[in-house]
Amino acid sequence: MRSQAGNDAQFLAFVLGSEEYAVDILRVQEIRSWEPVSRIPNVNPYEKGVVNLRGAIVPIIDLRERFNLGHSEYTPVTVVVLHTRDDNGRQRVMGVVVDAVSDVVDVDTAAVQMTPDFGARVSTEYINGIVSVGERMVMLLDVDKLLKLDGGDDDQAH
């Protein structure tokens, strides 16, 4: 993992329910407030729909629902973090709904710990590692895996 690199990296931390996650800040394009989306028929329930981002059609996914953390009402502080992903040289943009953005944290990559093994009970495949920020435990998300579109199992979701 990144443990031996020993460099400082900045991460954007955000809150989902009572948990705190962070993503590499270089992968964040912008942060927008929640606005109504246009639903796409017959896709996974966590894929909320698409919005018009300055002329581009950008899909929005709900991370709470993606991680099975239940559904929450969208409030004025609900934000959409727009991530970019490089897909064979093409930039893809996708919005992720989170409860709130907390702050930007400096992380010494040497201090990143491996995710504890929970066996089959908890899926940790999207988590790159865990880091302590003060008293808080922050989980570092793997943006590429997170945004990878699993088109295979979406047709039964309606």
Partner 1 sequence: MTIDMAQFHQVFFEESFEGLDAMESGLLNLDMGDFDAEAINTIFRATHSIKGGSGTFGFTEVAEFTHVMEALLDEMRDGRRQVTQGAVEILLGSVDCLREMLTAIQSSQEIDSARVAEHKQALDRELDSGGVAGSVLANEPAFQRPGDASAVADTVVQGWRIAFSPHVHLLKTGNDPVRMFRELAELGELTVKVDFQGVPDFQQLDPEECHLSWDLQITGDISREQIDDVFDWVEEDCDLAVQQLTAQPGVEEKSEDTGQDRSEPAVQKLQAAEVASPPNNEEPASRRREQKPAAKKAPAKPAGSSSIRVDTEKIDNLINMVGELVITQSMLSLVGEQFSINRMDQLKSGLAQLERHTRELQESVMNIRMLPINFVFTRFPRLVHDLSAKMGKKIILEMTGEQTEVDKTVIELISDPLVHLVRNSLDHGIEMPEQRLAAGKPETGRITLNAYHRGGNIVIEVCDDGRGLDKEKLLAKAIEKGLVEDNIPMTDQQVFELIFMPGFSTAEQLSDISGRGVGMDVVRKNIQTLGGNIEIQSEQGRGSVFAIHLPLTLAILDGQSIAVGDETYIVPLVSIIESINVSEDMVNRVAGKGETFRLREEYLPIIRMHEIFGVENVRAKKLCEGLVVVVEGQGVRCGLFIDDLLSQQQVVIKSLEANFRRVEGVSGATILGDGSVALILDIPGLVRLSNQQAAKAQQSYAETA
Rounded to the nearest 5°, which phi and psi values hold at 146?
-65, -40
43 near partner 1, rule: CB under 8 A: yes
SS3 88: coil
Beta strands in 79-135 (DSSP E): 79-87, 90-98, 100-108, 127-133
15 near partner 1, rule: CB under 8 A: no
Q: Which is nearer to partner 1, 56 or 120 (CB)?
A: 56
In the DSSP assignment, the letter for residue 144 is H
59 near partner 1, rule: CB under 8 A: yes
66 near partner 1, rule: CB under 8 A: no
Nearest approach, Cβ of 54 to partner 1 (angstroms)? Answer: 10
Applying CB under 8 A, which part among 1-9, 69-77, 92-100, 120-128 lies near partner 1? 92-100
Nearest approach, Cβ of 50 to partner 1 (angstroms)? Answer: 5
SS3 51: strand
Residue of the chain from 25, 31, 93, 130 that contacts partner 1 (CB under 8 A): 93
Nearest approach, Cβ of 35 to partner 1 (angstroms)? Answer: 9
Let me know: does 72 contact 90? Beta carbons within 8 Å.
no
For the chain, give the number of residues: 158
Nearest approach, Cβ of 24 to partner 1 (angstroms)? Answer: 19
Can you tell me which residue has the tokens 């690199």? 5
* Residue 51: count of CB within 10 angstroms of its CB: 19
User: Where along the sequence are the contacts to partner 1 (CB under 8 A)?
Assistant: 36-43, 49-52, 55-59, 90, 92-94, 149, 151, 155, 158
